[in-house]
Structure 1
């Protein structure tokens, strides 16, 4: 594919940082407003319905929706990255997206080595990518400059 390359560790890490800012605004601010400071400093693991919704269900649904609709989360979109099927380069299936989401947990277990592997692998696949059959590609093509001829 012309004007594309596999997305490496640092650009993907940057996308994660952008996503964390978005998540803080969309999910963590409401949790703080609902449960107060106790949500963050207390010993309680589960705080109720809204905790379940904003901490687990909505992030799952929204992430899968972004992957299927836009080929990536807001952070990946901002950095011109796309998550695609590793064999065809086409859109993920619903099964791949769900598998990739839960494979993040598996990739984190061995001291985050499943993520660090992105920096070593020739196709820049983390363990979660390998398990789901996905790759993350980077769009290199720049948009040409266009001027209004009528001005």
Structure 2
């Protein structure tokens, strides 16, 4: 379960790290590649919150929802897609599913900015300002959704992707390759288990699914 106990940062060596991000270099601690970082407040507020609102209006609302249908599978909203920001599950460290994105963006955020704000007036402002004081840069809707937002300009590394996303990612998982044979998928599955990316239970379940296809 994340966050981990007290650790030294594997990237800059700073000791005594207890959060999801290194307090010295802002690198996302569970990422072995060192390419995923804590999103800055400016990127999150100006590049995500405000840009999201602009896109919402420019696309006449319905266009934003159609766009979200394409970006949600990558754990992103339309604005997050444009600024290289991703939404991860705070427990597993992996990208949330498309369903979780819809739940987070439509139900949780709109509930906070709509119904709750109607009751106390400033819920949306508290939600946005919370990021300034949270060590993991979470807003209130992140707390409710059990998510954390990260900045990954090079995209998320395979070590942080969901097992099903890695296995079914096609060209994104193995560039230049077509549809993999069952034998290749079984070898890839074994590699993911050996590297600790998936659990033994997930390995057995996926392996059985592949065997059933034979």
TM-score, normalization by structure 2: 0.45
SS in 1 for 2:101: helix
Partner in structure 2 of residue 139 of structure 1:
152
SS in 1 for 2:93: coil
Once the two structures are TM-superposed, the CA of residue 141 in structure 1 deviates from its matched residue by 5.2
Once the two structures are TM-superposed, the CA of residue 93 in structure 1 deviates from its matched residue by 3.2
Give the whole-Å Cα distance in 2 for the aligned partners of 1:132 and 1:125.
10
Partner in structure 2 of residue 103 of structure 1:
108
Partner in structure 1 of residue 192 of structure 2:
none
Partner in structure 2 of residue 19 of structure 1:
52
Give the whole-Å Cα distance in 1 for the aligned partners of 2:44 and 2:111.
18
1:77 aligns with 2:78: no
| Maintained 8 Å contact 1:116/1:126 | yes
Higher RCO (CA-CA < 8 Å; seq separation 6+) = 1
Matching of residues 28-107 of structure 1 within 5 Å: 54=62, 59=64, 62-63=67-68, 65-66=69-70, 68-101=72-105, 102-107=107-112
Once the two structures are TM-superposed, the CA of residue 94 in structure 1 deviates from its matched residue by 4.8
Query: CA 1:95–1:22 in 2, change beyond 3 Å: closer, same or farther?
Result: closer
SS in 2 for 1:17: helix
Once the two structures are TM-superposed, the CA of residue 100 in structure 1 deviates from its matched residue by 1.4
Query: CA 1:74–1:95 in 2, change beyond 3 Å: closer, same or farther?
Result: closer
Query: CA 1:106–1:115 in 2, change beyond 3 Å: closer, same or farther?
Result: farther
Name which of structure 1's ranges 113-122 and 66-75 shifts more when overlaid on structure 2.
66-75
**Tell me, which stretches of 5 or more residues in structure 2 are unaligned?**
1-30, 156-214
Query: CA 1:77–1:119 in 2, change beyond 3 Å: closer, same or farther?
Result: same
Give the whole-Å Cα distance in 2 for the aligned partners of 1:94 and 1:131.
17
Aligned length: 113
Ranges of 4+ aligned residues in structure 1 off by more than 3 Å:
58-63, 105-108
**Tell me, which stretches of 5 or more residues in structure 1 are unaligned?**
29-53, 143-151
